[in-house]
Amino acid sequence: MVGVGGGIAAYKVCEVVRRLVESGHSVRVVPTESALRFVGAATWAALSGEPAPFSMWDDVHEVAHVRLGRDADLILVAPATAELLAKAAGGFADDLLTATLLTARCPIVFAPAMHTEMWEHPATRANVATLRSRGAVVVEPAVGRLTGPDSGPGRLPAPDALAMLARRALARGIAGLATDLAGRRVVVSAGGTREHLDPVRFLGNRSSGRQGYALAAAAVARGADVTLVAANVTLPDPAGARLVRVTSAAELHDAVLAAAPGADAVVMAAAVADFRPAEQLPDKIKKDPDGGVPPPVALVRTDDVLSELTGKAAEPGRMVVGFAAETGGSGRDVLALGREKLTRKGADLLVVNEVGESLGFDAADNAAVVLGADGSETVVPRGPKDALADVVWDLVVARLVPTDTAR
């Protein structure tokens, strides 16, 4: 079920409904009366293929709010206005949507959209905290242009990101684990760093950021407060994650260490350069017209973020997950190299994946073995990166310090 609040962002939810229907889901849209001032009931009915009830007084004999709440496998509320969040937190039931929220026993996801001042108001923050404490997923709004000249946090996430979030939350709800990261704060890194040699050239890698983005999206769907540090990624922003964009290994190092204090888990899925040019030249290196060979490029090591997270920047109770993209070599297989790295880095979990053509980097699928500091080995067969993301979070959740004893 999709509940639509009375905000101008309601027009974006039309695309969310369309995407969910096209992916095979049966969707019932329940708009508030104020939402119908932005998008009419006929539009919702046409997009969903189902009636779009909004009044408690229609079809009274069916007790619509009870039926809708019991039948739904997931409720996505978008846009969740400040008023709608307040009503849901306070248990108000003065229209069909809010009454349905009280009868529902399925996962509920709120996607807020409002002006920045309203989102940051203490009353709204308190209502969000209340809803999250009850197991609802309240995603962080996107940052960008709002109505009028305003810009800031409060923008409804992109429709494709919201539809993906709904599908992930629905899958986790069926598994009975919809919000097992509720109340947890996590940091995820994604993408590949670039180390500039001159204004044009850089040392980099083929990481697309897909695995890190899948981890961030999965964590949001499971109720976590997510900070995503993204290095040179061109993917659509995942709904509900706080995004920090970086370029180099040094920038990623600083961003991760700034976000890590107080986090319950840090997952280092980014492909971070081990080396950078010793000197970044101010001008483009020119070819010698006489065919001369350019001087060799001297390299120096970059800071080891993963080792710092488990070493001098370690915190009691915080889970640290590393990634090892390996190709084997020197007579040792990928797993042997992974075990050595796990011991050397001191991580709680290490996701070891062999990279190659159409596998690992810049590919839709991944296969891995997740090594645990406790000696465990979890084999994840080749499949979508979303599947690997859920396995990683399953392993993290099983090892997290219980919230009643956490920091």
CB 265 within 8 A of CB 400: yes
Q: Is residue 327 packed enough to be buried (19+ CB in 10 Å), middle (13-18) or exposed (0-12)?
A: exposed
Nearest to 106 by CA among 71, 131, 132, 80: 71
Q: At what angle do helices 41-48 and 10-22 cross, to 10 degrees?
A: 20
CB 379 within 8 A of CB 373: no
CA distance 46 to 350: 48
SS3 (DSSP) at 61: helix
DSSP letter at 118 equals H
Contacts of 388 (CB under 8 A, 6+ apart): 211, 214, 351, 366, 367, 368, 380
Query: 165 vs 145, 215, 223, CA distance in Å?
Result: 22, 12, 11
**Six-digit token string for 222:** 């499971």
Beta strands in 141-298 (DSSP E): 142-145, 151-155, 185-191, 195-196, 202-203, 225-231, 242-246, 265-268, 275-277
- Exactly one of 127, 205, 232, 353 is catalytic; which is it? 205
3-state secondary structure 25-58: CCCCEEECCCHHHCCCHHHHHHHHCCCCCCCCCC
**Six-digit token string for 379:** 């084999």
Amino acid at 150: D
205 an active-site residue?
A: yes
Half-sphere exposure of 376 (CA within 13 A, CB side): 15
- The DSSP code sequence of 78-107 is EEE-HHHHHHHHHT--SSHHHHHHHH--S-
Contacts of 360 (CB under 8 A, 6+ apart): 325, 353, 354, 366
> Which amino acids are annotated catalytic?
205
